[in-house]
Structure 1
């Protein structure tokens, strides 16, 4: 399976609005094998050991990325190809408040996906202490270390009865950056 063939199938399936994500959750094509495509933990995409240099191609493939159980696939209406993801397929690299009241935080991934940090896109802490946000479907983005440190500066200490933690609000939801050591 070549990347040219996959990208052609993706382009064919994305007729119309290019901003709209393909409905990969509705597609259940046969598995066609694995391809040597890897998303590194730093957000870079590699094919046969070579980094992708065209962001537009990465965005195209990311639009048809699907996670089933703990495996990742590129999916078109006619085939499903396995790929490797080191950690999470996306990174949260930017954030901003959308209003003067600082009540809605918009976050942006390394592939320019932007959304409000809210109940639909929650912040979660892994067992290892890394922060992740659900981007779309069941695909997550790891919060980049620089963003984390910026959030620590704006967070406040809150004692929830089980100990103190650093928290902040967005879209009327409370998000924790983790427990504080006493």
Structure 2
């Protein structure tokens, strides 16, 4: 099976069990994810979205570091901001569904909350990988939260899936 065969299956496949893989660290590889979500290898942009999705499917976070992991090797990559970028959301039956720059979706819930602790708001995606909220998306969420009545004494909150999430502190 060649690379093109693997890439043709990426869209329809489930995520590999990366959390179960703990191979030896093999060093760093010259792959960097820029703030806008673009992936680069040796300074050149990776233009094939299926290849980016394949790499993203084996991305693992350990503390503040990110790795591409297979059952037999683990290589560290550079991430400028966050590996993913949340680009839009929609509300379906009082539940917010977020989409990232790879057109993957996740429901905002207790397992996938919004994190505003580091000054750059992000939704925590699968395997605790953050997806930075774009400025435009953050403004849309703030307006939506105000419409929901989420302005409280200590901050602005948004609700999804019977949970409340802090978007911004007011004090």
Q: Return the TM-score normalized by structure 2.
A: 0.88
Counterparts of 1:47 and 1:68, CA distance in 2: 21
Unaligned 5+ residue runs, structure 1? 1-6
2:66 to 55, 58, 72: 72
Computing the radius of gyration from Cα coordinates, the structure with the larger value is 1
What residue is the counterpart of 1:28 in the other structure? 22
What residue is the counterpart of 1:171 in the other structure? 161
Unaligned 5+ residue runs, structure 2? none
1:1-182 correspondence runs (5 A):
11=6, 18-99=12-93, 103-128=94-119, 130-156=120-146, 157-159=150-152, 163-180=153-170
Contact 1:126 1:132 in 2 (8 A): no
CA RMSD of aligned residues (A): 2.1
- Tell me which stretches of 4 or more aligned residues in structure 1 moved more than 3 Å: 15-18
Q: Return the TM-score normalized by structure 1.
A: 0.83
How much has 1:16 moved relative to structure 2? 10
Counterparts of 1:59 and 1:80, CA distance in 2: 17
Counterparts of 1:70 and 1:34, CA distance in 2: 15
